[in-house]
Structures are given as C-alpha cells and as structure tokens.
C-alpha cells in the first residue's frame, strides 16, 4: 500500500470532545440522565399530565385499582383510601422529592465545601478544627438526630430540608479537604500566590474549579441520600405532613393495605427506587467521564 492510499490519521480530540465521546459511550450515565429527565419532566409538567388535583378527595371513588389490575381508565393508576387520584399524587410528589433532595444537598454542599476547602488549603489549626467538627458530626447518627429534631420542632417541608441539609455535609468536607490538599501543592497555585493574588481569588479561581468534579459527584450521592431519608421520615410520620403528596408518605398511607392492595406501596416504591438509582448512576457516570483515570 502506497503512502497516498494510506488512511489519514484522525486529528487528536480536544479534552471537551473526548469527554463528550466518553459520555455518549457510558451506558450508566445515559440511563441515569434519561430516567432523571423523565422524572423532572413529570414533576415540572404535572398540571399538564393530569386533570386531577393531588388533594381532591372523592370517597365514592376510593380504592380503585390501576388499569393494569382491572381498574377504571379515568384513574389509570387507581385511587387511594380517600379517593385521591394516585397518578396525580405521584406526579406532584416527584416535585417534593426532587426539591427536598436538591435543597438539602445544596445546603450540605455549601457547608461542607467551605469547611473542606479551608481545611485543605490552610492546614494546621484550621485543619484540626475542621477535622474535629467532622468527627463530631460522624459521631451523630443521622436518622436518630433527624427523628429527634423533627419530633421536637414538628414535621414540615422546611424543617425536613433544614435538618437534612445540616446533617449531610461531612462527606463534602472530607472529600474536598483531601482534594484541596492535592491541588494546593500544584505549581499554578504557588504562581498565583507569588503574583499577589488575593486569598478569595486563589480559592475561587484556582482551587474550586479543580475540585469541582469531586463536588458534583458527592452532590449527586447526597441528593439521593436526602431523598431516601425524607422518605423514611415521612414513612414514620415525622417528615412531610399530609395532605402534601410525598412518595414516602404515600408508602406510609398504603402500608395498612399491603396484603390486600399491594400496589399502594409498590407504585411509589418503584418510583422512589428509579429516582435514587438514576441519581446514583448519573453521579457515577459523571465521575467516570470527567476523571477516567480514577476508574477501576
């Protein structure tokens, strides 16, 4: 084969193009993004996807089974013990789960990221103080503390979000502390300091962008963790209070009919399973795509 007939070499891919190619080939990331996109679409477009309100009761239409179990097409996922449309409560409940997970993870990320970056950058006494706070937090069982606080101040949406946000920051602090310690030793950070860059500028422009990958991955994990904890609190009657549509509350309301109408628990349980699964797969995929050298 002559040189003229040889296939031309492909131009090297830019880092962004390589990342996009890895993302398109990552099945877990695509699956997680697809499922998450569907759930977000249902949550945002709930008023367009159902003509029923999640709060309206119709005792004459109570406990209708889903269509696939011989129910009425007017309520294709059936109705609960108070005659409320199950699909309407499921769709609007997606808003509650996503909002709680997003807000709680955001609060935790703000607290844990600040502490972790400061500890990793300064070291010394600052690191010792932050490490002490992390140890104190790790010594506190999340579920028991959340149950005690919610029982003390009452179960409401804002109380649940605040409690979870203030209890889930430790992983952010631990991971970002270690990542900042590594970035702190790199030459461009030292160059910025020598050139007289201010501390906020170094932290914001040089440290934070290089630990953002870790922050995003931990954010997805803690978002899923917060959703599970909210569902557990609602199941125990100490989370989101009725008649707010919450998937954990829907499972709690259907537990007494488990042996007779198992779909009352199965439907919101499966929805919760796929939501948490999609968030975890999305976070795992982001880690693999943005930092392929860290994969096993």
CB 88 within 8 A of CB 49: no
Q: Specify the length of the chain in residues.
A: 296
Q: Which residues of 242-261 are buried (b: 16+ CB within 10 A; e: fewer)?
A: eebbbbbbbbbbbeeeeeeb
Q: What's the whole-model pTM score? A: 0.87
249-261, pLDDT tens digit by residue? Answer: 888 888 888 788 8
269-288, pLDDT tens digit by residue? Answer: 999 999 999 999 998 888 88
Q: Which two tokens stand for residue 226?
A: 């917060």
For the cut 60, the answer to whether the pLDDT of residue 296 exceeds it is no
CB 185 within 8 A of CB 123: no
pLDDT at 5: 55
């Amino acid at each position: 084969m002559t040189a003229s007939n040889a296939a031309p070499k492909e131009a090297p891919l830019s880092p962004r193009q390589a990342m996009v190619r890895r993302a398109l080939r990552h099945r877990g990331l695509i699956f997680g993004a697809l499922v998450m996109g569907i759930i977000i679409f249902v949550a945002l477009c709930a008023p367009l996807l159902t003509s029923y309100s999640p709060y309206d009761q119709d005792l004459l239409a109570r406990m209708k089974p889903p269509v696939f179990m011989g129910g009425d097409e007017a309520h294709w996922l059936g109705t609960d013990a108070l005659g409320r449309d199950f699909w309407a409560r499921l769709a609007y409940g997606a808003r509650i789960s996503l909002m709680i997970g997003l807000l709680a993870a955001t609060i935790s990320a703000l607290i844990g990221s600040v502490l972790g970056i400061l500890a990793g950058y300064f070291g010394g006494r600052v690191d010792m103080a932050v490490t002490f706070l992390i140890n104190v937090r790790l010594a506190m069982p999340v579920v028991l503390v959340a149950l005690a606080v919610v029982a003390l101040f009452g179960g409401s949406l804002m109380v649940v979000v605040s409690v979870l946000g203030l209890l889930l920051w430790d992983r952010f602090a631990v991971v970002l502390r270690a990542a900042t310690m590594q970035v702190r030793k790199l030459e461009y950070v030292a160059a910025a300091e020598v050139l007289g860059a201010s501390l906020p500028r170094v932290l914001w422009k040089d440290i934070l962008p290089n630990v953002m990958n870790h922050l995003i991955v931990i954010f997805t994990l803690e978002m899923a963790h917060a959703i599970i904890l909210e569902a557990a609190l609602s199941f125990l009657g100490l989370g989101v209070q009725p008649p707010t549509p919450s998937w954990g509350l829907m499972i709690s309301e259907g537990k007494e009919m488990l042996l007779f109408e198992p779909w009352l628990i199965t439907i919101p349980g499966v929805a919760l399973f796929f939501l948490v699964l999609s968030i975890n797969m999305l976070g795992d995929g982001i880690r693999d795509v943005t930092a392929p050298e860290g994969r096993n």
